[in-house]
Amino acid sequence: MALEDYSCALVTGASSGIGAAVVRSLRARGLTVHAVARRRERLEVLAEETGCECHELDVRDTARVFEVIGALDADIVVNNAGLGRGFGNLHEARPEDIDTTIDTNVRAAIQVLRASLPGMLARNRGHLVNMSSVSALHPLASTVYGASKAALHLLSQNLRLELAGSRVRVTEICPGRVSTEFFDAAIDEPEKRSALKVTGITELAAGDIADAVIYALDAPWRVNVSLIELQPTEQIFGGMSLRPAN
């Protein structure tokens, strides 16, 4: 089951960045693509550019998720919607930002999968792609965001076990720094946002992540690309920090 075996794809968080890049790549391969996001104006521009089908939808609205996504019979689901409100220290995070991040990155992601899986299992084919993060794999300075993506990491692994014996594959993509609007949506304070956005390195482009998604989807049916971790050449994880207590 490579890409030529599929006909219909769903991409959440599709109005910009990684989601929009994945929509473009899938449309270039001739698939019918349903692009889901909250920003209708952005979706309409993407639809005019690519010919995708657009659906204005907040994935936190479970009833609408099942109404819209459950009816699509998608062969491919790219579970990309996510955000990073409450990015930073846990004790400084606003309770509402914690709820927004967990609701979007964890609860909504699970509901999208729940709405999509019955049709895939009935047709005995499909591919689930969960957009995670290096924050799911390495300790980084964002407790809430990292916890939400770590949940998606274990969800992806458990799903592979649950779906054993079916022809539904599961892939997790874990990008590092990508040049997107992530911090614009995550952080309200201009100075803090600017400090995090300006890195001095060459970050990944959204198209780089779309290429990784296409690689996983296009593998022959005998191959499940379980996890792809990719980061800028100039971004390195690991090491040790020793900090005496005050």
pTM of the full predicted structure?
Answer: 0.92
Within the chain, where are the H helices? 17-28, 40-50, 62-68, 95-102, 109-123, 143-162, 182-186, 190-197, 206-217
172, 130 in Cβ contact below 8 A? yes
Strand order in the sheet with 227-230: 53-56, 32-37, 8-12, 76-79, 126-131, 168-175, 227-230
pLDDT score at 173: 98
Q: Which two tokens stand for residue 154?
A: 């274990």
Q: Which of 23, 69, 82, 145 is catalytic?
A: 145
**Domains of the chain with CATH codes:** 3-230 (3.40.50.720)
pLDDT score at 103: 96
Low-confidence stretches of the chain (pLDDT < 50) are none
DSSP type of residue 170: E
Helices (H) and strands (E) in the chain, counts: 9, 7
Please tell me the chain's helix, strand, coil percentages from 3-state DSSP, rounded to the nearest 5: 45, 15, 35
Tokens 């979706």 belong to 43
**Does residue 6 carry a catalytic annotation?**
no
Helix axis angle for 143-162 and 95-102, nearest 10°, is 20
Other CB atoms within a 10 A radius of the CB of residue 221 amount to 12
DSSP type of residue 59: T
50, 27 in Cβ contact below 8 A? yes
**Widest CA span of the chain, in angstroms?**
60
Could you tell me which residues are beta bridge partners of residue 56? 37
Q: CA-to-CA distance for 94 and 85, rounded, in angstroms?
A: 9
Residue 94, SS3 per DSSP: coil
pLDDT score at 141: 80
